[in-house]
Structure 1
């Protein structure tokens, strides 16, 4: 367990978990701006076969705007990344960047508050995926 992420295990397969994560994020006001297929990139660039591993770049425009207004450089810490990966035993893990921890690096009370609110939303997404 790290200080900058939180993780849940999904009872679904990989593709179903990606779909469920995207839908649960939407329910909390997030859109997926980017999808990085790490496994496909490693295969194409290095010829390495890896288990499925996607990075979903999730953004809640309302909170992103507030954060950018408070600190213009905060864009370097956005979006909130959500990793969906298949483990060696076939389980599917969903790993969430903890916005409270990451945005806490800015050390500004208004940004800390936003980080806590966004963390709460992502925790609800995590719980929805665990079910």
Structure 2
């Protein structure tokens, strides 16, 4: 079962993150959280891990509409 979308980009990791944030902003999303998995795993358990960032993005208008239809949808929001 595939539960993700994967793309290989011909740019540096940090450039890809910056472009993703800008694209989200253009579409009305804000980044509420940014988790640097690589840094967190190193700091918490001393494990080396490849670059890995989780962006928690939200579009307030869409979130509000969804919550009005089903308030339990909040469990899937960032």
TM score, norm. by length of structure 1 = 0.57
Name the structure 2 match of 1:56.
55
Residues 1-131 of structure 1: pairs in structure 2 closer than 5 A:
2=2, 4-79=3-78
The list of structure 1 runs, each at least 4 consecutive aligned residues, that deviate by more than 4 angstroms after superposition, is none
**Residue deviations 1:70-104 (CA, integer Å, cap 9, x gap):** 1111111113xxxxxxxxxxxxxxxxxxxxxxxxx
Q: Helix, strand or coil for the counterpart of 1:6?
A: coil
**Residue deviations 1:4-48 (CA, integer Å, cap 9, x gap):** 322222111011111000001111111100001111110011101
Gaps of 5+ in 2: none
The structure with the greater share of residues assigned to strand is: 1
TM score, norm. by length of structure 2 = 0.92
Distance 1:28 1:10 in 2: 20
Distance 2:51 2:41 in 1: 11
Gaps of 5+ in 1: 80-131
